[in-house]
Amino acid sequence: MKKVRKLGFLGILSALTVVLFLAGISLIQAQVPTKGKPIKPPEATWAVRIPTSGSGVMFYGNAGYYENNGANIQVSVKKGSPGAYRSYYKFVYAFDFTLANENVGTGTPPDYQVGFQNVNGLYDVSYPDEGKPHCQFPYVTLGAPDCMADFLNNTHPYSDLTGEHDYQYFWTRVNVFDKDIELMGIGETYLFGSASDPGEPGDYLEMVARYRNDCFPEPAYHDVEITRNINYWRAVDEGNPLNITIERLDEAAYEIECAGVWRIHILPVDNRSILGFLNVQERFCTIEKRKTKWYYPLEAKGCFDFYIDFIKNPTAQ
């Protein structure tokens, strides 16, 4: 009888030893990195903040604070391949801020909008695609080039409560090449295009009031596109302004708790007191011979002064 009890005790002891051994292996595997691809950290969340109102504010928002929700608000900043520019650059930081009109065509305005005011004095007018219709915007009565400013001085995506003149999107996109913005020190300012060598394309800013995401044989209304492409060396040679900067703000002193803040600032003049500008273009796409064709019937320049804050991992508004 004692022998049976002894064997039973030894069986339990052996089973317990195996369990502890397997648990030890699991603990070691949890502590040692697995081979192969490294585990990616969780993707950052992003938000945008701009002024809400004020007589001196040129670019404003009805909300002021826009956090990415993957639907009618999309905000992201991604470091990746420069794509078509990979022969010039090693990487690009791509900023995106897109508002979608979730109620397009219904007569109900979108929940989130941004807007311009005091856009005027457009100059240096040209007609790249002369002969194509221009000033094709809702309720615009002014002629070229002021029709573009007249339309911009509204909220976007544009809606007049009728549903017939609704625009679908407004987006801001910025590409910064070969400048690691996340390694910038607090208070450090990067001048647009400074990381480019002579002959390289340069950094890029684009803002678009987009009528529809698709192209039509006869578009009812046109887009307004605001752009600037800057290479430091080219701008100096041509006497053009260097009037776009990116500054890393002190997140500890910022009004929103977060992991970092970068302010993209379009300035009215550059550090050489040369008048700053952005290109303002009217554009539309249509279908010709079953292919998409873009036209730019009107183009001008305008002086702008505004900023956009991109906020990483906001935790409190």
Q: What is the per-residue pLDDT across 59-100, written as a single tens digit (0 to 9) for each?
A: 999 999 999 999 999 999 999 999 999 999 999 999 999 999
Write out pLDDT tens, residues 159-169: 998 988 999 99
Specify whether the CB–CB gap between 238 and 291 falls below 8 A: no
Burial of 102 (0-12, 13-18, 19+ CB in 10 A): middle
- Does residue 317 belong to any structural domain of this protein? no
Distance CA 227, CA 103 (A): 27
130, part of any domain = yes
The answer, yes or no, to whether residue 6 has pLDDT greater than 70, is: no
- In a shared domain, residues 78 and 226: yes
Distance between CA atoms of 29 and 11, rounded to whole angstroms?
Answer: 27
Judgement on whether residues 260 and 282 belong to the same structural domain of the protein? yes
Same domain, 51 and 158: yes
**Cα 36 to Cα 43, 98, 265, distances in angstroms:** 20, 36, 42
Cα–Cα distance between 171 and 236 in angstroms, integer?
Answer: 29
Digit-coded pLDDT (tens) for 17-42? 443 344 444 444 445 444 566 677 78
- Identify whether residues 104 and 69 lie together within a single domain: yes
| Same domain? 150 vs 268 | yes
Tokens of 69: 């929700």
Residue 225 pLDDT level (bands cut at 50, 70, 90): very high
213 and 184 inside one domain:
yes
Helix, strand and coil in the chain, % to nearest 5: 15, 35, 50
Looking at the structure, tell me whether residues 166 and 23 fall in a common domain: no
Instruction: Evaluate whether 52 touches 23 at the Cβ level (below 8 Å).
Output: no
Q: Which residues pair with 248 in a beta bridge?
A: 262
**Contact of 119 with 153, CB cutoff 8 Å:** yes
| Domain that includes residue 28, residue range | 1-39
What span, in angstroms and rounded, lies between the C-alpha atoms of 315 and 312?
Answer: 9
Q: In whole angstroms, give the CA distance from residue 45 to residue 279.
A: 31
Q: Are residues 24 and 135 in the same domain?
A: no
Does residue 251 sit in the same domain as residue 146? yes
Residue 87 lies in a domain: yes
The CA distance from 45 to 196, in Å, is 28
Note the pLDDT of residue 22: 43
Specify whether 288 is located in the same domain as 175. yes
pLDDT of residue 35: 55
Among the residue ranges 97-106, 113-122, 249-258, 281-290, the one predicted with the least confidence is 281-290
pLDDT the model gives residue 37: 66
Query: Do residues 156 and 253 both lie within one domain?
Result: yes
Lowest mean pLDDT among 23-32, 232-241, 242-251, 273-282: 23-32
Number of domains in the chain: 2
| pTM of the shown model | 0.86
Residue 83 lies in a domain: yes
Do 118 and 184 lie in one domain? The reply is yes
Mean pLDDT score across all residues of the chain: 89
Measured distance CA(296)–CA(282) in Å, rounded = 6
DSSP letters along 196-207, please? Answer: PPTTS--EEEEE
